[in-house]
Chains A and B, each alone.
Chain A
Amino acid sequence: DVKVTQSSRYLVKRTGEKVFLECVQDMDHENMFWYRQDPGLGLRLIYFSYDVKMKEKGDIPEGYSVSREKKERFSLILESASTNQTSMYLCASSLSGHHQETQYFGPGTRLLVL
Chain B
Amino acid sequence: AQSVAQPEDQVNVAEGNPLTVKCTYSVSGNPYLFWYVQYPNRGLQFLLKYITGDNLVKGSYGFEAEFNKSQTSFHLKKPSALVSDSALYFCAVRDDGSARQLTFGSGTQLTVLP
Contacts and interface: CB of A to CB of B under 8 A. Distances in A.
Interface of A: 4, 9, 33, 35, 40-45, 48, 50, 56, 58, 90, 92, 99-100, 102-108, 110
Given A42-B90, A100-B32, A102-B49, A48 B106 contact: no
Contact of B49 (A42, A100, A108): A100
Interface of B: 9, 32, 34, 36, 41-46, 49, 51, 90, 94-96, 99-102, 104-107
B107 A90 contact: no
Contact of B101 (A9, A40, A58, A106): A58
Contact of A42 (B41, B42, B101, B107): B107
A41 B99 contact: no
Nearest to A58: B101
Given A43-B90, A99-B32, A105 B101 contact: no
Contacts of A105: 36, 43-45
B96 A40 contact: no
B34 to A, nearest CB: 7
A90 B106 contact: no
A35 B42 CA distance: 14
- In this complex, which of A9, A48, A105 has the most chain B Cβ atoms within 10 angstroms of its Cβ? A105
- The listed residue with most B CB atoms (<10 A of its CB), out of A45, A48, A100, is A100
Given A99-B96, A102-B49, A43 B104 contact: yes
B65 to A, nearest CB: 14
Nearest to B95: A99
8 contacts: A33-B101, A45-B102, A90-B43, A90-B44, A100-B96, A103-B34, A105-B36, A107-B42
Contact of A45 (B9, B96, B101): B101
Contact of A40 (B41, B51, B100, B106): B106
A58 B102 CA distance: 10
Contact of B9 (A33, A35, A40, A99): A40
